[in-house]
A and B are shown apart, each in its own frame.
Chain A
């Protein structure tokens, strides 16, 4: 199993450009999450999907949109990138209801907006 994969690993954008961060998991997990982590800070939740077909806003959803394409894939879109969105973006998944609150994280995407 590859676990949680994210593409791309690195990206540089100019202000105003758009892009989509891709995330996929092969563990048949129900829930998926997108976080951002600014330098020296903790993780902040952007959006999450408790199950296929549902998405909900987290702490910092402004400037982002998400799509739960199917059970495996959860993408994050920046429509008009801003320098304040420079961060490391992590995708995570967890099995779903019941059991451990164990989220499995991807390797991250380092995004710089100039």
Chain B
């Protein structure tokens, strides 16, 4: 399974854009990049997934360069409710191999 590396923590203020970068140097051809969000005392929740270039949904954007060895989760105009841990995962979409959660990035949003 491809190993991922993320910053342990980040701080931001309400209204700012937050970019969290994940490194995955040994990503395989069939692997997708998936991001999850976890609030205290809850299970993780899927945010976004991509294979290459840019993906955008109602909550975030995911930027993936051509070599796919890294990815950046972008949260526009964060609010206090975005304070959470964010996990980057890499794996194929077959379901036959489980994805691995690392330690994640703890985002703290200040007023």
Contact = CB atoms under 8 A, between A and B. Distances in A.
A74 interface: no
A44 B101 contact: yes
B56 to A, nearest CB: 15
A43 interface: yes
Nearest to A43: B101
Nearest to A57: B98
B101 A102 contact: no
Interface residues of B, number: 25
Q: Which secondary structure characterizes the binding site on chain B?
A: loop
Interface stretch (A13-21, A65-73, A75-83, A88-96): A88-96
B94 A97 contact: yes
A101 B43 contact: no
A94 B45 contact: no
A114 to B, nearest CB: 21
Nearest to A41: B103
Contacts of A104: 46
Query: How many residues of A sit at the interface, in one of the four size bands?
Result: 20 to 34
Given A33-B98, A42-B102, A58-B98, A105 B45 contact: yes
A101 B101 contact: no
A101 B99 CA distance: 8
B46 to A, nearest CB: 4
A35 B101 contact: yes
Contacts of B63: none
A105 B100 contact: no
Contact of B95 (A35, A43, A59, A97): A97
Interface stretch (B11-19, B21-29, B69-77, B85-93): B85-93
A-B pairs with lowest CB-CB distance, top 4: A105-B43, A43-B101, A102-B46, A31-B95
Interface of A: 4, 30-31, 33, 35, 41-45, 48, 50-51, 56, 58-59, 90, 92, 94-108
13 contacts: A31-B95, A35-B101, A43-B87, A43-B101, A45-B98, A45-B100, A45-B101, A90-B43, A97-B95, A98-B94, A100-B46, A102-B46, A105-B43
